[in-house]
Amino acid sequence: MIHCEGLVKIFKSEDIEVVALQGLNLDVEKGEMMAIIGNSGSGKSTLLNILGGLDRPSAGQVHVGGWDLLKIKDEQLVEYKRKTVGFVWQNNARNLLPYLTALENVELPMMLSGKLDRAYAKQLLEWVGLKDRMHNKLQQLSGGEQQRVAIAIGLSNRPSLLLADEPTGSVDTQTSDQIMRIFREVNRELGITIVIVTHDLTLAGKVDRVVAIRDGLTSTEFLKRNPNLDGESGGFSAQAGGLQEIHEAFVVVDRVGRLQVPKEYLESVGISGRASMEFDGEKIVITAPKSLEGDSK
């Protein structure tokens, strides 16, 4: 569904240049429900905006459902946003119009695309548990109910990809669990690919896969589901009365074979500027140069 290779995004102004994504690689399978985690400034929201057609990439490859988002024309971008992708924002003000009812908010994207389907709009609100609240205006709904309306809006034009930016960031734990159950049901029932950007690691056990972004790069770390577990308990293995994260660290290899190793890994073993490398037939071992470290590694 999604293929990103060497994806670069640079924001420029008159006297400053910020590299938000610096060669990011990512593949997402059709029908997968995954989360992207990372600290503030890591590039995860920039990635989501590019996948949603809200930002243009600066370089690299990014394909979503057959669309080439690097080369797409403006008129094609409108069609892409209407037919392929749905968006759920953390800030409800970006999702909802306060003077409309919940049902009218869900119907609005349909009207803008010329395909009003009131029965489907009502069905979406039933799916998110708002059957008895669909004729209420927003001020009559709680924050969690408004976020569920936002999910229905994101699904209103039957997208094949749903993007959610911190969808549980402003709600309590109970509402967060309810929202994640809705995402999972939609993913299973409709087969929609769902990508959730979050900083909340507790969501890891509720999705198929978690990819970490660090300094504008992905594939530096994966938290993978335990294949022996399924249902709501998947994603972690129980050990010693707690939950043990299952993870595997990766580095990015570019087209000419260069490795992009996280800076903190290098600093932890005293590598700066130069490194020694050995190949023992099975593993590549990178250490600080022997002239700098003596006999220790």
Q: How far apart are CA 186 and CA 61, in angstroms?
A: 29
* Most confident residue range from 84-88, 138-142, 232-236, 288-292: 84-88
- Name the DSSP class of 27: E
Q: How confident is the model at residue 191, as a pLDDT?
A: 92
Q: List all residues 6 or more positions away from 217 whose beta carbon is below 8 Å from its beta carbon.
A: 21, 22, 23, 24, 25, 43, 252, 260
Least Cα distance to 101 among 140, 135, 143 occurs for 135
Give yes or no for a contact between 28 and 1, defined as CB atoms under 8 angstroms apart: yes
Amino acid at site 20: A
Q: How far apart are CA 182 and CA 189, in angstroms?
A: 10
Share of the chain above pLDDT 70, in %: 81
Q: List all residues 6 or more positions away from 92 whose beta carbon is below 8 Å from its beta carbon.
A: 138, 143, 146, 147, 150
Q: Is the pLDDT of residue 281 over 90?
A: no
Instruction: Classify strands 242-245 and 284-287 as parallel, antiparallel or unpaired.
Output: unpaired
DSSP SS3 for 280: coil
pLDDT digits (tens, 9 = 90+) for 61-82: 999 998 999 999 998 998 898 8
Amino acid at site 151: I
Rg (alpha carbons) of the chain, rounded to whole number = 22
For the chain, the domains span: 2-84+159-253, 261-293
Q: Record the tokens describing residue 233, joined without a space.
A: 């308990």
Q: Is the pLDDT of residue 41 over 60?
A: yes
From its phi and psi, is residue 134 left (phi > 0), alpha (psi between -120 and 50) or beta?
Answer: alpha
CATH topology of domain 2-84+159-253: Rossmann fold (3.40.50)
**Confidence band, pLDDT 50/70/90 cuts, at residue 119:** very high
